[in-house]
Amino acid sequence: MKKFRKQIEKFVEGILFTSSTVTSLTVIFIIIFLFKEGVGLFNSKPVEKSYTIAINPNNPINTISSEHLKEIFNQQITNWKDLGGNNDSIMLFTLEDAASLFTEEELGPDFEYLPQKINEYILSTPGVIAYFSDSYIPVDFGGKKIPVSKISVGEFLSGKEWYPTSSPVAEFGVLPLILGTLWVSIGAILLALPIGLITAIYLSEVSGQRFRNILKPVIELLAGIPSVVYGFFGLVVLVPFIQKTFNLAVGETALAGSIILGIMALPTIITISEDALRTTPQSLKEASLALGATRLQTLVRVIVPYSRSGIIAACILGIGRAVGETMAVLMVTGNASVIPHSFLQPVRTIPATIAAELGEAPFGGVHFKALFALGIILFIMTMGFNFMVELTKAKKYK
């Protein structure tokens, strides 16, 4: 029996240990899966897999960067000489053009002559650039295939356009999304910090027990309301209000996102700053009061400076939460992927982008991978904020 007991103890300890590894394993698995899918983006081309880009064989151009490809198909570049080629205007050709260029008879009832026609068209048109499915490449293809380069990390991080489904060349520039995320989150903290800090001060240093008893459950409830309900409230109340007040075309703006996120960040900021304020030693407060300072002066000159690092931690943690918040932002910010210039413009954040697009991105495709790459960026950003919080805390205890 006694011998048994020792073994049972060991066994249970083993179970406990196993359970406690779940969190660490999850973190590791999250990193693995994000990177497994996300890093694949930099191994793929911004053009759909089974498609070819081809030009006239006499055209001296041999390579075109994906940047230029985009500009060509957006008709921003219209002449080959802009790329160092002949002075020929660029003729775009995609499969949709086939229907207008050739008659149904020419193509045959099952498009069986299409490959041949494409070949003929490319050979006969000096300025052509064609984008079509590999399945229409004829056996005796005479055009020059243009290789498309892979998406680079630099392009991804500094690209200013996010058009993941545009054809033929998708654009994966996360700069507007990163800026949109920071813009909305920092706006939220600018709104929430004064309110949250003042409430924390009032709660810890001024108010009586009665107000505390009211405010504590209020804060808990504010923290408990689901983000989709905040988003709903923002959409039906705040968005129309902003639209009317500022006389805008749409009310879904960065401002709406910041206000809603600010409200959502309040509980974090209030709770953590209040804890920080409470750590001020009583003796320090009394010393200040004994020198004839008022409670307000003591607050401003002694208590708040003393609790500075805790308040900073609250602030960073608030931003960290706001950066990762998804549903509310998705519902009120309008989701336009442009680099924000004003709070009264629609913006799009990283989490909102993932939430809105993952459902439609084909599994394993470039777009799918790009969304996981966004997940990596988001993960790194929030871990960075967490790390900063730890750092400010550690500083305090030194």
Partner 1 sequence: MPEHKVETKNLNLFYSDFHALKEINFKADKNTVTAFIGPSGCGKSTLLRVFNRMNDLIVGVKMEGKVYVDDKNIYKKNVVVDELRKKIGMVFQKPNPFPKSIFENVAYGLRVNGENNKEFIADKVETSLKKAALWDEVKDKLKKSAFELSGGQQQRLCIARTLAIEPSIVLMDEPASALDPMSTAKIEELIYELKENYTIIIVTHNMQQAARVSDFTAFFYLGELVEWDTTKTIFTNPKESKTQNYITGRFG
Partner 2 sequence: MINKRIQQTLAFGAFRIVSFLVVAILFIILGFIVVRGFSVISWEFLTSMPEDGMKKGGILPAIVGTMCLIAGSMIFAFPIGVLSGIYINEYLTDNWLKRFMRTMTNNLAGVPSIVFGLFGMALFVNTLKFGDSIIAGSLTLGLMVLPVIIRTTEEALKSVDDSVRLGSYSLGASKLQTIHRVVLPIAYPNIITGLILSISRVSGETAPILFTVAAYFLPKLPNSIFDQVMALPYHLYVITTSGTNIEETRPMAYGTALVLIAIVLFVNLLANALRRYFGKKVKMN
Q: How far apart are CA 275 and CA 270, in angstroms?
A: 9
Please identify, among the stretches 1-9, 261-269, 292-300, 322-330, the one whose residues bind partner 1 according to the rule CB under 8 A: 1-9
| Token pair listed for 116 | 């041949």
In b/e form, how buried is each residue of 56-91, taking b as 16+ CB within 10 angstroms? beebebeebebebbbbbbeeebeebeebebeebebb
Please identify, among the stretches 8-16, 52-60, 282-290, 339-347, the one whose residues bind partner 2 according to the rule CB under 8 A: 8-16
* Distances from the Cα of 145 to the Cα of 57, 64, 165, 215, angstroms: 9, 11, 22, 68
Nearest to 322 by CA among 377, 371, 263: 263
* Whether 307 contacts 277, CB under 8 Å: yes
Q: Specify the residue, 190 or 236, whose C-beta has the smaller distance to partner 2.
A: 236
Minimum gap (Å) between residue 123 Cβ and partner 2? 44
Instruction: Please state the separation of Cα 178 from the chain's center in Å.
Output: 6
Note whether 240 binds partner 2 by CB under 8 A: no
Q: Map residue 75 onto helix, strand or coil.
A: coil
Residue 291 touches which member of partner 2, partner 1, none, C-beta under 5-8 Å by kind = none
Convert residues 5-34 into a mask of x (bound to partner 1 by CB under 8 A) and - (unbound): x-----------------------------
Give the pairing type, strands 128-133 and 91-94: parallel
Residue 155 touches which member of partner 1, partner 2, none, C-beta under 5-8 Å by kind = none
Residue 2 touches which member of partner 1, partner 2, none, C-beta under 5-8 Å by kind = partner 1
Among 341, 383, 394, 395, binds partner 2 (CB under 8 A): 383
Among 15, 139, 290, 291, binds partner 2 (CB under 8 A): 15
Contact set for partner 2, span 176-235 (CB under 8 A): 194-195, 198-199, 201-203, 206-207, 211, 214-215, 217-222, 224-233, 235
Nearest to 211 by CA among 220, 198, 202: 202
Residue 204 touches which member of partner 1, partner 2, none, C-beta under 5-8 Å by kind = none
Residue 394 touches which member of partner 1, partner 2, none, C-beta under 5-8 Å by kind = none
Note whether 284 binds partner 2 by CB under 8 A: no
Please identify, among the stretches 6-14, 71-79, 116-124, 165-173, the one whose residues bind partner 2 according to the rule CB under 8 A: 6-14
* Whether 375 contacts 31, CB under 8 Å: no
* Whether 254 contacts 345, CB under 8 Å: yes
How many residues at the interface with partner 2, by CB under 8 A?
Answer: 83
Q: Which residues contact partner 1 by CB under 8 A?
A: 1-2, 5
